[in-house]
Amino acid sequence: MSGIKKIGVMTAGGDCPGLNAVIRAVVKTAIQEYGLEVVGIKHGYRGLYLGGDEFVPLCLHDVSGIISRGGTILYSSNKDNLFDYTYVDEHGRQQRGDVSDKGVENLEKAGIDAMVIIGGDGTLTSARDFSRKGVKIIGVPKTIDNDLSSTDTTFGFDTAVATATESIDRLRTTAESHSRIIVVEVMGRYAGFIAIASALAGGADAALIPEIPYDINKVAEAVKANRARGKNFALVVVAEGAKPKDGDIVISKIVENSPDPIRLGGIGEVIAGQLEHLAGLECRATILGHTQRGGTPTANDRILSTRYGAYAVELLMNGKFGNMVTLNGADLGYASLENVIGKNKAVEKDGYWVKAARAVHMCLGD
């Protein structure tokens, strides 16, 4: 055992179904298995910098019943990197710089011996940097995009796919009733896991993903071929990071002072406009957006989140600091934060997702 008496837990980055289930598992395992104290740090790294009321004790009562709740009881922020942070100095002037020492100091003041940090690539990059400063950390991989390396699955992905699939099912009736093409834009950043999975589950006619640049004429041809066989509508699922051959991604806006300033979005409307012209059918676009990140997590995500949270505490107590919990097959393991940062996973062009899509003649735009 590592001599740990009190641990902290934090959620940072975008919200995600299953965050509360991880928090619950951390608290229950820490208290009931190891007799530890647990402190929740609110609002991610911003709370770590501010200290004080942002540090709240967590007991079993605090996590009772939260396994089914979306969001995070600790709140979150995706704009705060303490290694490059905008703050107000003692003279009231706005400054920007490395304030990570303040975060370490606040942990020491609170008597926190180690941390469980739950987040995606940006959050875990800071976790790695704090680990380099001597903070004892275990990371838990979180993203609906399923694009973190070293782990087969991230919690939140299953719920996002289920939400997208239900939406496709609902949109199918409108598409068929009005003889329309409906383009469904889903999240995923630069990876097409949500798009390809929900397109397969929802029986879409086409799926456009970042890993396979598309030719819009090929999509239009597929729609017209289906019409020739008597199908008077079409469903096209497009990942927000999809891009045409010899083209680029569609950016909705740039958020200044964010660790990840590029916000994707708008490709659905672009595709809809092009397909209406090329395929000769009325076309509508639906952007699912944050509906994929909210709401009740699926049973699979609750189970995975619980496994991740419990194992994170076990790793801390066994001194496996500076690592991220992983899932490979059915087995939990861990990988160094040094090795997983910045190595995002993508849909394999010859992997089982794509093979299944091609087997049922789903158009992938190539």
Domains of the chain: 6-155+297-329 (3.40.50.450), 159-294+348-359 (3.40.50.460)
Q: How far is CA 302 from CA 64, 158, 161, 307, 315, in A?
A: 14, 10, 15, 9, 20
Task: For residue 72, give Cα distances in angstroms to 40, 63, 75.
Answer: 11, 11, 5
Per-residue pLDDT, 26 = 98
Beta-bridge partner residues of 204: none
Q: Which pLDDT score, from 0 to 100, does residue 5 have?
A: 97
Q: Are the CB atoms for 280 and 305 separated by under 8 Å?
A: no
Please give the pLDDT value at position 32: 97
Gap between the Cα atoms of 12 and 116, Å rounded: 11
Q: In the chain, what percentage of residues exceed pLDDT 70?
A: 98
Tokens of 335: 């990988």
Q: Which range (148-162, 194-208, 250-264) has the least confidence?
A: 250-264
Res 47: pLDDT? 97
Kindly state the DSSP code that residue 276 receives in the 8-state scheme: H
Average pLDDT over residues 168-185: 95
Indicate the pTM of the whole model: 0.93
Residue 131's pLDDT is what?
97
Catalytic residue among 145, 158, 205, 301: 145
- Averaged pLDDT, 154-173: 96
Tokens encoding 284: 């509508």
Among left, alpha and beta (phi > 0; psi -120 to 50; other), residue 361 is left
Residue-level pLDDT at 258: 66
Within 8 A by CB and 6+ apart from 267, the residues are 185, 208, 238, 239, 240, 241, 242, 243, 249, 250
Residues 201-228 have a mean pLDDT of: 96
Q: Quick one: pLDDT band at residue 252, thresholds 50, 70, 90? A: confident
Lowest mean pLDDT among 39-48, 85-94, 312-321: 85-94
Q: Share the mean pLDDT of the chain.
A: 94
pLDDT at position 350: 92
Concerning whether 145 is annotated as a catalytic residue, the answer is yes
Checking if the pLDDT of 143 tops 70, the result is: yes
Mean pLDDT along residues 70-74: 95
